[in-house]
Amino acid sequence: MIQSMNATIKETIDRCRKAGLRRTKALEELLVTLTESLRPMTLNELATSARLSDQCDKATVFRLLQRLSEHGFVRRLGLHERAAYFTLILPNKHSDYLICTSCGSIEPINAPCPVHQLEDEIRKNTGFRNLYHELEFFGICPKCA
């Protein structure tokens, strides 16, 4: 059992349980890692992270991410790298990202997202369901410039 498990993580595990997932050590550690991470992570980063590297196999992490995606707890992001990135979806939380194309750093943008209105229009005009968006800014960060 993980010591410093805060409320958010407990809730997330709870939601996973209700969705039918079993409470395994690997699941817990993965959720903690994703929660603690300030940015999306790749499968490889996750599988080799402190919490997970000696906890379980990469295939397990892959399958956990797959299950979590199916249930909408995790989202897969394409951020221009060859590898896919994964991020936890928390209720009422949305992040856009600022990415340096030179060093690859990824940081969430705190500014209010300006896209919601357009998203509503699209939902109304096109009849798309389950609509969400992904917004990323790319550029060269001051350090790399």
Task: Map the footprint of DNA across residues 86-145, applying CB under 7 A.
Answer: none
Among 10, 14, 25, 102, binds DNA (CB under 7 A): 25
Q: Which does 77 bind (CB under 5 to 8 A by kind): a copy of itself, DNA, none?
A: a copy of itself
Q: 14, 80, 104, 120: which one contacts a copy of itself (CB under 8 A)?
A: 80
Q: Select the residue interacting with DNA from 15, 67, 71, 75 (CB under 7 A).
A: 67
Residue 57 CA to residue 89 CA, distance in Å, equals 23
26 touching DNA, by CB under 7 A: yes
Determine phi and psi for 118, rounding to 5 degrees.
Answer: -60, -40
- Which residue's entry shows tokens 């410039």? 145
Q: What are the residues whose beta carbons fall under 8 Å from the beta carbon of 32, sequence distance 6 or more? A: 2, 5, 9, 51
The nearest distance, CB 88 to a copy of itself, in angstroms, is 17
Q: Name every residue whose Cβ is closer than 8 Å to that of residue 85 and which is 6 or more positions away in sequence.
A: 40, 41, 42, 76, 77, 78, 79, 106
d(CA 10, CA 123): 33
10-39: contacts with a copy of itself (CB under 8 A): none
Provide the binding-site residues for DNA, judged by CB under 7 A.
17, 20-27, 42-44, 55-60, 62-64, 66-67, 81-84
